[in-house]
Amino acid sequence: MKSLNVVIIEDEEAHFQLMKRAIHKEFPLASVDYFEEGYVCLQRLDEISPDLIITDYIMPGMNGIEFLEALNRENKDIPVIMITGQGNENIAIQAMKLGAWDYLVKTPDFFTLLPSVIEKVVRERKLKDTLGETERRFRDLAESTSDWIWEMDAEGKYVYSNPVVESILGYRPDEVLGKYFYDFFSEKEMETSAHTSLQAMAEGKPILGFDNCYIHKEGYVVVLEAKGVPFFDKAGNLLGCRGINRDVTARKRAEERIHSLSRQLMKAQETERRRLSRELHDLVGQDLSALKIGIDTLFDDQPEALPAMRQRVAKLSKIAYGAVMAVRDLAYALRPIGLDQFGLAQTALRQCEDFSAKTGVKVDFFAAGMEDLRLDSDIEIALYRLIQEGLNNVKKHADATDVTIRLVASFPNIILRIEDNGKGFDTENRLASAINEKRMGLRSMEERVALLGGKMRIESSPMQGTKIFIEAPCKGNNIGQ
């Protein structure tokens, strides 16, 4: 233990000398100052700056209780040990209430006990200083951060809030304390996020990635990203939760703007694809078909044409037929003609059959619950493109022989599952390397699903095939109408 600076206030010098000897025996480097009166000691406290004061209760001029009261008036935060020749319980209680750190009676073993009591008080003071420094450090950080730091009890009532809450929600910390966290939620959040947060706390789980809509004091919506951890007593009982809320309103608005622009761009792309598909089919395709018919009937009124000429024209007819089919396939790829007429399920089935015919890969396609489901054209084409991109990935990368596709309406969502028996891949590394390798198939699918407001999960491992699970909302579409 480092050197101590101890002050002893005792009107009997003999007792002081015995106490000093007991202290030096355990703390050889201790500095001990002696005063017979408390008043004189008070005048020199700033000069001495003691680590500890030992004061007798009964002294001339000012007793020990009055000395403690004087210390409190002058805001002197110095540990005090009160000693007395009489074991008076009322004096002990009064002294402890006034801030005494310990109380000793001058029994026969008093001088033996004193060093251990001093050590205990010094240790507790050191701990208090450490905790105080930690608390100051926390408050400095809490008051300088731009995030709302909070703590709530097991019922969800705020018991602490840093001042930042006022700049975020318009409420002072004292206006927040004692209120439930969901008192500031929008009506929609009350029905969903409040229950989820309370359930997470009850189960002892951290609160991570929760984006909640709070209502500012002035009435507008503020989106806050919440992160928190529950804390417990020694018996494992939940005491509450503490965490941080970050204002992500601007970020969410930017993301929504980006999503809106992305949806508009995708819609413009599909509109342009539809136009090109129609022009290829109705103009170029028909012109090529007419050209082929012309070639095929070129010698109908010339029976005397040489066989070599007929053979050459037949080759030209075959080339024209190939061009017609190529234009047809291109137009169909740009915009499946049957999507508007026959719906998603039938068009996807035809796509799978064409894929099998061209690649030799067996595709088992099944749709359920799609017959009476009327989808927005944007969602319909997005789901079709997801199937198209999934098959494209199988063709380019999987080396598969079998593919299973399931398209199931489970209101309010549509479930799409694409599974192959190909060579698979390491999912952790694939998406990270996809950009560098310019392999954007899966990334493109993820972005399309995100624009639909859905979720996508990929399961794969080397030589174990690949499974893609997609869940997309129907978004207010009607069933059976």
Q: What contacts 42, CB < 8 A, 6 or more positions away?
A: 67, 70, 71, 74
Residue 477 has a pLDDT of: 41
What is the number of residues in the chain? 481
Q: What contacts 308, CB < 8 A, 6 or more positions away?
A: none
Query: Rounded distance, CA 180 to CA 220, Å?
Result: 19
Residue 255 has a pLDDT of: 78
Query: Rounded distance, CA 210 to CA 227, Å?
Result: 7
10 Å Cβ neighbour count for 168? 18
Q: Ranked by mean pLDDT, which of 43-47, 78-82, 166-170, 380-384 comes out on top? A: 166-170
396-407 core/surface letters (b: 16 or more CB in 10 A; e: else): ebbebeebbbeb
Task: Report CA-CA distances (Å) from 257 to 186, 222, 395.
Answer: 22, 16, 35
Q: Residue 432: is its pLDDT beyond 70?
A: no
Q: Are 412 and 434 in contact (CB under 8 A)?
A: no
Q: The tokens of 263 are what?
A: 């949806």
Sign of CA dihedral 165, 167, 173, 174: negative
Summary mean pLDDT of the chain: 84
Q: What percent of the chain has pLDDT over 70?
A: 93
Pairing assessment for the beta strands 402-410 and 362-368 based on DSSP bridges: parallel
Nearest to 452 by CA among 259, 258, 210, 255: 259
Residue with tokens 């304390």: 177
Sign of CA dihedral 106, 107, 111, 113: negative
**Stretch among 29-33, 45-49, 164-168, 296-300 having the lowest mean pLDDT:** 296-300
Query: Mean pLDDT throughout 254-264?
Result: 78
293-308 core/surface letters (b: 16 or more CB in 10 A; e: else): eebeeeeeeeeeeeee
Give the confidence band of 433 by pLDDT, cuts at 50, 70, 90: low
Q: Residue 123: is its pLDDT beyond 50?
A: yes
Query: Rounded distance, CA 342 to CA 336, Å?
Result: 10
Evaluate the omega torsion of the peptide bond into residue 60 and state whether it is cis, within 30 degrees of 0: no
Helix (H) or strand (E) holding 393: helix 377-393
Global pTM reads 0.50
Q: Residue 481: is its pLDDT beyond 50?
A: no
10 Å Cβ neighbour count for 419? 20
